[in-house]
């Protein structure tokens, strides 16, 4: 205070003292109130946080344990881990076979999905004596990893982890008709070498266009001796069958606990919940199913699936995956020949309690459901199935024949190729033709591979059809060398899916798989589409979308289609729609090759050569995008060779330079393929 305040009178001083005492009491009250609120807030806040903290710790603990394949191997005494990158189940099957093989060499193996584990732990394999990592890696699409190996692939591309001292081997699964043959297997093999790991056996390359099973068996027969030599171990000579699962028959289980065809969550078909994916497919009702061809012996069909309310989104060029059912006639015949009550409720439980895979298919279920929804009973069984089943043949000659077919001898391979593969004998045909073979049905169910989803190129645009997905397919049916009629599982099943009648919906379990097969980002970019037969499917969606863009006032570039079929009056698919699109100017050029309407056969590649000047202008000057859809083995290869010739001739460059030109278009995303073999 300054002096003027000191000179204030007595009354003034008393007022100040009185005022100060009042403020002191108020301060004390406020301080007490704030302190009380603070303590209350802290105490109750802490109590509220205790529950989520506790839950968080609980959920994390098992996840950490489950992602460590090293700890699992230590705990179970395993020293071989076989990782698989699998899209259709074959690589997983090969991994399981290698894992089971290991016991014959005094070792213990486990098959593992890289998606379920922390792959950065690979460097820790050196902590386990005589350890080995094997990779069965399938290549999918245009040199891509399979869905379950995508994260592993991404990690492997970026990592510089030191894998010194880690032993490894790779078997790749591919198809030579595709541009990037066995790209994933080659990548993993090379990358592991670069990271310092020790390759103990040469990279194996399986070709599904030739004989994938034979390629695998040949590699495997040489692989194990190399393992024995490297680790100084010997074969035990134990060739006995080892069961991976044990049978449990349920006599008093409620039907509400039994799987009836669901892929993942029990009762998921009754209470549908998005998002929909391979483990949780959406039950889409069939709204349209019509025959496309006007004549001929084949049945080509157009289906429309209603996806209203599913929140499923798709783009033109994506694929629809459907889960089919096996023909009940075949299922019942298997039950009859084995003398089994197919409605018996069973579980097959993994004998390895530490395994992430508790059952070979959803359990508990019935034999009928397993054979109808979960198991592949129509493809010729692989050699390992024959080997395991041979023990149940009561006739020594039958047993000898089956074991011979499962062997790696030249005679055995030839017999398997002719008697099983070329004759297209499925498991029912084998049981019919080997009367002394009557295996236990539970072991048969353990050995048969899973029935896989079937993929189709979507034949619609979501811009035009946001609530439906269209499929274009040909029904597969043929006579085998044994005189049997074999039918394609999915196409015959879809053929019988009629739209709702009398309130009963005909449904298809499905999900959408994203694709890189996409229209150009800029609508004014020209497109050249080549798709004979059912290869027309994605281009129906493409043209619908270009028409929609045009209606929105967008500038749309040239849209050129090359389509092919056998006869104009029989199997010209979507003829009315395509001709209408051409009339409206959406399709600027519609080129159709009718291969059998004249003495000499005319295919799409012949029309491409005929229009080489126009095509070269679109590609070289206008930066057009090229799209090819259909058969990989012949058509796609012939079309690609035709483009080599066009580039060489019109660009006046050598053939190697033309090849390099097309390869660069592929790299830039200007030459895309959606092909199958």
Residues belonging to the binding site for FAD are 424, 454-457, 472-474, 478, 488-491, 676
Beta carbons of 425 and 419 less than 8 angstroms apart: yes
* Distance, CA of 305 to CA of 288 (rounded, Å): 7
Q: In which element (H, E) is residue 296 found?
A: none
Binding residues for FMN: 86-91, 138-141, 173-182, 208
* Distance, CA of 49 to CA of 41 (rounded, Å): 12
Q: What burial class does residue 313 get, using C-beta atoms within 10 Å of its C-beta: 0-12 exposed, 13-18 middle, 19+ buried?
A: exposed
* Distance, CA of 126 to CA of 130 (rounded, Å): 8
Tokens of 36: 């009380």
By DSSP bridging, strand 625-631 and strand 671-676 are parallel
Q: Give Cα separations from 254 to 176, 261, 267, 367 (angstroms).
A: 50, 16, 13, 16
Strand, coil or helix: 136: strand
Segments of 78-189 assigned E as strands: 80-85, 109-112, 132-140, 144-145, 167-174
* Distance, CA of 183 to CA of 326 (rounded, Å): 33
**CA 36, 38, 44, 45: dihedral to nearest 10 degrees?**
180
By DSSP bridging, strand 625-631 and strand 527-530 are parallel
Q: What burial class does residue 204 get, using C-beta atoms within 10 Å of its C-beta: 0-12 exposed, 13-18 middle, 19+ buried?
A: buried
Measured on CA atoms in the order 569, 575, 576, 580, is the torsion positive or negative?
negative
Strand, coil or helix: 264: coil
182: left (phi over 0), alpha (psi -120 to 50) or beta: left
* Distance, CA of 241 to CA of 384 (rounded, Å): 10
First-to-last alpha carbon distance for the chain, in angstroms, is 98
Beta carbons of 391 and 241 less than 8 angstroms apart: yes
* Distance, CA of 337 to CA of 354 (rounded, Å): 36
* Distance, CA of 42 to CA of 30 (rounded, Å): 18
* Distance, CA of 348 to CA of 243 (rounded, Å): 11
Phi first, then psi, for residue 135 (nearest 5°) are -125, 120
Cβ neighbours for 18, distance < 8 A, ≥ 6 positions apart: none
* Catalytic residue annotation: 457, 629, 674, 676
Binding residues for NADP(+): 298, 534, 595-596, 601-605, 638
Closest among 170, 80, 180 to 131, alpha carbons compared: 80
Tokens of 26: 């108020």
């Amino acid at each position: 205070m300054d002096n003027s305040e000191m000179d204030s009178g007595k009354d003034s001083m008393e007022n100040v003292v009185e005022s100060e005492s009042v403020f002191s009491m108020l301060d004390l009250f406020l301080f007490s109130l704030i302190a009380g609120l603070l303590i209350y807030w802290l105490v109750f806040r802490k109590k509220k946080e205790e529950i989520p903290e506790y839950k968080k710790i609980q959920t994390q603990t098992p996840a950490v344990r489950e992602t460590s394949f090293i700890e699992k191997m230590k705990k179970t005494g395993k020293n071989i881990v076989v990782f698989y990158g699998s899209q259709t189940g074959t690589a997983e099957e090969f991994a399981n076979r290698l894992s089971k093989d290991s016991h014959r060499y005094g070792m213990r193996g486990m098959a593992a999905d890289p998606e379920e584990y922390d792959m950065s732990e690979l460097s820790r394999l050196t902590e386990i004596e005589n350890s080995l990592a094997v990779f069965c890696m399938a290549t999918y699409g245009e040199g891509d990893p399979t869905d379950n190996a995508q994260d592993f692939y991404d990690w492997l591309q970026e990592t510089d982890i030191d894998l010194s001292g880690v032993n490894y081997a790779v078997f790749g699964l591919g198809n030579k008709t595709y541009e990037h043959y066995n790209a994933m297997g080659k990548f993993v093999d090379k990358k592991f070498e670069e990271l310092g790991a020790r390759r103990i056996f040469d990279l194996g390359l399986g070709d599904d266009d030739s004989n994938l099973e034979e390629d695998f068996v040949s590699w495997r027969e040489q692989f194990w001796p190399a393992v024995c030599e490297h680790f100084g171990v010997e074969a035990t000579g134990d060739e006995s069958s080892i069961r991976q699962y044990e049978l449990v028959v349920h006599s008093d289980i409620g039907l509400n606990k039994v799987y009836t065809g669901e892929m993942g969550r029990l009762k998921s078909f009754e209470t549908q919940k998005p998002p929909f994916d391979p483990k949780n497919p959406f039950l889409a009702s069939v709204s349209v199913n019509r025959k496309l061809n006007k004549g001929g012996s084949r049945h080509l069909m157009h289906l429309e699936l209603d996806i209203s309310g599913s929140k499923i989104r798709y783009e033109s060029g994506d694929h629809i995956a459907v889960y089919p059912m096996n023909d009940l006639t075949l299922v019942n015949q298997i039950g009859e020949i084995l003398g089994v009550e197919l409605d018996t409720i069973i579980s097959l439980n993994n004998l390895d309690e530490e395994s992430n895979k508790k059952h070979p298919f959803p359990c508990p279920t019935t034999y009928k459901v397993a054979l109808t929804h979960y198991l592949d009973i129509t493809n010729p069984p692989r050699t390992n199935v024959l080997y395991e089943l041979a023990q149940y043949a009561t006739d020594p000659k039958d047993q000898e024949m089956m074991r011979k077919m499962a062997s790696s001898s030249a005679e055995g391979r030839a017999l398997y190729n002719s008697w099983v593969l070329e004759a297209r004998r499925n498991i029912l045909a084998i049981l019919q033709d080997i009367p002394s073979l009557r295996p236990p049905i539970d072991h048969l169910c353990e050995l048969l591979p899973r029935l896989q989803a079937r993929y189709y190129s979507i034949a619609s645009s979501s811009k035009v059809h946001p609530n439906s997905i269209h499929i274009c397919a040909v029904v597969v049916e043929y006579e085998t060398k044994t005189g049997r009629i074999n039918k394609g599982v999915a196409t015959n099943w879809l053929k019988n899916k009629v739209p709702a009648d009398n309130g009963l919906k005909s449904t298809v379990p499905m999900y959408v798989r994203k694709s890189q097969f996409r229209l150009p980002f800029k609508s004014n970019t020209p497109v050249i589409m080549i798709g004979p037969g059912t290869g027309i499917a994605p281009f129906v969606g493409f043209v619908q979308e270009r028409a929609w863009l045009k209606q929105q006032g967008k500038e749309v570039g040239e849209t050129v289609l090359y389509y092919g079929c056998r006869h104009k009056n029989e199997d010209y698919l979507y003829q009315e729609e395509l001709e209408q699109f051409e009339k409206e100017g959406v399709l600027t050029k519609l080129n159709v090759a009718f291969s059998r309407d004249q003495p000499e056969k005319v295919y799409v590649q012949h029309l491409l050569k005929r229009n080489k000047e126009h095509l070269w202008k679109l590609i070289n000057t206008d930066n057009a995008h090229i799209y090819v859809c259909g058969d990989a083995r012949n058509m796609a290869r012939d079309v690609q060779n035709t483009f080599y010739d066009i580039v060489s001739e019109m660009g006046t460059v050598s053939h190697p330079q033309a090849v390099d030109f097309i390869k660069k278009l592929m790299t830039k995303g200007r030459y895309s393929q959606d092909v199958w073999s």
